[in-house]
Amino acid sequence: MTADLNLVPDWSADDVTAADAVQLRAVQRTFGAAVAVERMDLAVRPGEFYALLGPNGAGKTTTLRMIAGLLRPDSGTIRIFGIDTLEDPLAAKRITAWLPDEPMLYDKLSPLEYLELVAGLWGVPAALAERRAGELIEVLDLGPHRHQRCEGFSRGMKQKVALAGALIHDPMLIMLDEPLTGIDVAIARQVKDLLTARVRAGATIILTTHILEVAERLADRIGIVHRGRLTAEGTLAELKAAAGRGSSTLEDVFLTLMRSDADTELMAS
């Protein structure tokens, strides 16, 4: 099943202002003496598929959790479609979806029950929630399992249910932290098709992944984070040019830029 069903947001392009979908200015976050995110500036455009890459511990998840309002920055500002997430967190969250790397569900509920619960929490009218749940279940091939308890599902199945729950309120901004880790090829394809369809419909997506081929294929722009800083950003072609390897894969570009950043830090120390 492809993602070409009539699964489009109920908000229109007129609802998206000229502001950046996401804007970070001098955002800092520490844990004790350790700096997780260091005065980061980041701008993601409306309707963009943006991949945030970096090694483990680079600050990617911390950055997304701050944008989602789950962590408070020590300093700096974060805006989602012009909404200051610290001044009006509820308004920002109403148009945002956050999917962590580990799917979190109520295991005793079925997919349909879970989606009805989440839709109710967002205040989605019952008839609209039913329609959206049906579309999401169909496009993610969850139909045969809609009334089964989630407790017996594989990780991939749980990830699909969690993704459906994240999308039930038709968010304008979708953030996913390693959504394809540990799931099989067929499920990964369904997830990628759905995300691509959401971007075509006008949503903005920020995704972290260690599967560089996914970023290479799906992302409009790519940001590379190292030691809490955004060290490189651009289209794949721009990153290739910056790395000096015009015909390289994203993996080659990524490793080259990581080495270059490490060499710069060594020279500055």
DSSP string of the chain?
--S-SS---SS-GGGS-SS-SEEEEEEEEEETTEEEEEEEEEEE-TT-EEEEE--TTSSHHHHHHHHTTSS--SEEEEEETTEETTT-HHHHHHTEEEE-SS----TTS-HHHHHHHHHHHTT--HHHHHHHHHHHHHHTT-GGGTTS-GGG--HHHHHHHHHHHHHTT--SEEEEESTTTT--HHHHHHHHHHHHHHHHTT-EEEEE-S-HHHHHHH-SEEEEEETTEEEEEE-HHHHHHHHT-TT--HHHHHHHHHHHHHHHHHHH-
The per-residue pLDDT for 261 is 63
pTM, 2 dp? 0.86
Return all residues near 209 (Cβ < 8 A) that are at least 6 apart: 51, 53, 178, 179, 180, 181, 215
The per-residue pLDDT for 81 is 96
The per-residue pLDDT for 164 is 94
The per-residue pLDDT for 16 is 44
- Contacts made by residues 183-188, CB under 8 angstroms, sequence distance 24+: 183/155, 183/156, 183/159, 184/156, 187/156, 187/157, 187/159, 187/160
Strands of the sheet containing 221-226, edge to edge, are 96-99, 173-177, 204-208, 49-53, 221-226, 229-234
Separation between Cα atoms, residue 149 and residue 128, nearest integer Å: 23
Based on C-alpha coordinates, what's the Rg of the chain?
Answer: 19
The per-residue pLDDT for 249 is 81
Q: What CA–CA distances, in Å, run from 136 to 6, 55, 100, 158, 217? A: 10, 32, 19, 14, 23
> For the chain, what is the largest distance between any 2 Cα atoms, rounded to a whole number of angstroms?
61
The per-residue pLDDT for 186 is 85
Separation between Cα atoms, residue 233 and residue 239, nearest integer Å: 7
Please list the pLDDT of the chain residue by residue as tens digits (269 residues). Answer: 333 333 334 444 444 445 799 999 999 999 999 999 999 999 999 999 999 999 999 999 999 999 999 999 999 999 999 999 999 999 999 999 999 988 889 989 999 999 999 999 999 999 999 999 999 999 899 999 999 999 999 988 999 999 999 999 999 999 999 988 777 888 888 889 989 999 999 999 999 998 888 899 999 999 999 999 999 999 998 988 888 865 578 888 888 877 776 555 544 44
